[in-house]
Amino acid sequence: MTATEMLCFERCLSSAFCCGECRCRELRLTGEEAEYVQNAYPRACMTPLDESAGKRWYKISFPHHS
């Protein structure tokens, strides 16, 4: 991903999780996007679901801060 694509993806990801208010979502990601989430957010739990058209659905959840 280019720097511009990463910035755009990061904005979309933030929006999907309502800037941290939502802790669990199902998102359809490319392999590269899934790898980015795993590397950028190592505490996130990613569960692969169905795959279609080169993308896979993932259930992504973030732990509550203690």
Whole-angstrom Cα distance, residue 59 to residue 43?
14
Whole-angstrom Cα distance, residue 18 to residue 44?
16
Which residues are CB-neighbours of 54 under 8 A, at least 6 positions away?
Answer: 30
Partnered with residue 52 across adjacent β-strands are 55
CB atoms within 10 A of CB 60: 22
What are the tens digits of pLDDT across the range 2-29?
999 999 999 998 888 887 778 899 999 9
**Spans of all domains in the chain:** 3-61
| pTM for this entry | 0.79
What are the tens digits of pLDDT across the range 30-56?
999 999 999 999 999 999 999 888 899
